[in-house]
Amino acid sequence: MPIDLDVAIGAQLEPVEFSWTSSDVQLYHLGLGAGSDPLDPRELRYLIDDTPQVLPTFGNVAQTFHQTTPPEVKFPGIDIELSRVLHASEGISAPGPIPPTGTGIAVTTFTEIWDKGKAAVIWSETAVTDPSGTLLWTQRRSIFARGEGGFGGDRGPSTSAETPDRAPDLEIDIPTLPQQALLYRLCGDRNPLHSDPAFASAAGFPRPILHGLCTYGMTAKALTDALVDGDAAAVGSYSARMAGVVFPGETLHLSAWKTDAGYLGTLTVPSRDNAVALSGVEFSPR
């Protein structure tokens, strides 16, 4: 079904109440590679029973964490086949630490839809409050819908971010496991693109790819560990654009530069001629 701009832009979904536990938080962190050194106290802070610290990026998945079926892309004025959709960007900001257990109420609004010719970019923003109305976090997301452009909409601004013309201030190698996507899918993203070889082939990939949100979360953890001594509560905001695919088992390389607001980075895949996996990585401590 073609995108109906008049219906979609500004559409607000009904509030969704959801809850999470410390076990959910621990599983999410394990899906990002936490605990790779089980003797490192900094790693164990992510995995403590009952009171683990919470990476802000958990907020990007908390609402859908217990989903066991593939997601649908059906919203007011929007109805797209899942195989046409790729994650384009994600961001989160939190006014304070996310609690290890809690209940949230999410309200999602579709804010912009860009016509890229052969594809559409659909933007949404979700505000999550606790039952008393206190803001817990705000997330902003865009998806790239192949074959859904050409509807005569605004092309939108360029989202490229220029990195400084100097050596990076920080470089980190981030390994992924061959089974990384199979583990991460237990965090509420059962899209078969990440687990079913036949589905991945039909979508144009040689094999299942790693979830964009897994790559995004692993990078956030690497920056948290390197820049704020692994203190998740010290992270104010984080965002990135999914610029390319990652295959489970690849080692990724993060280059980051210090800026006035924090750090700006790029994540590449050295084994594939430094193909860019994440661009415009922005990390801002509190």
Contact 149, 118 (CB under 8 A): yes
In the residue annotation, 189 being an active-site residue is answered as yes
Give dist(CA 122, CA 274) in Å, integer. 28
Q: What separation in angstroms does the CA of 251 have from each of 17, 92, 161, 165?
A: 37, 25, 23, 25
CB neighbour list of residue 40: distance below 8 Å, 6 or more residues apart: none
Which of the following is catalytic: 24, 115, 189, 225?
189
Which of the following is catalytic: 24, 29, 87, 194?
194
- Would residue 188 be called left, alpha or beta, if left means φ above 0 and alpha means ψ between -120 and 50 degrees? left
SS3 percent helix, strand, coil of the chain, rounded to 5, is: 25, 35, 40
Give dist(CA 175, CA 52) in Å, integer. 23
Contact 70, 191 (CB under 8 A): yes
Number of residues that this document lists for the chain: 286
> Would you list the DSSP string of 127-194?
EEE-TTS-EEEEEEEEEEEET---SS---------PPPSS--SEEEEEE--TTHHHHHGGGT---GGG
Contact 45, 230 (CB under 8 A): yes
Residue 284 CB: number of other CB atoms within 10 A? 16
Give, as one character, the DSSP assignment of residue 12: B
Contact 50, 22 (CB under 8 A): yes
Q: Which residues are catalytic?
A: 189, 194
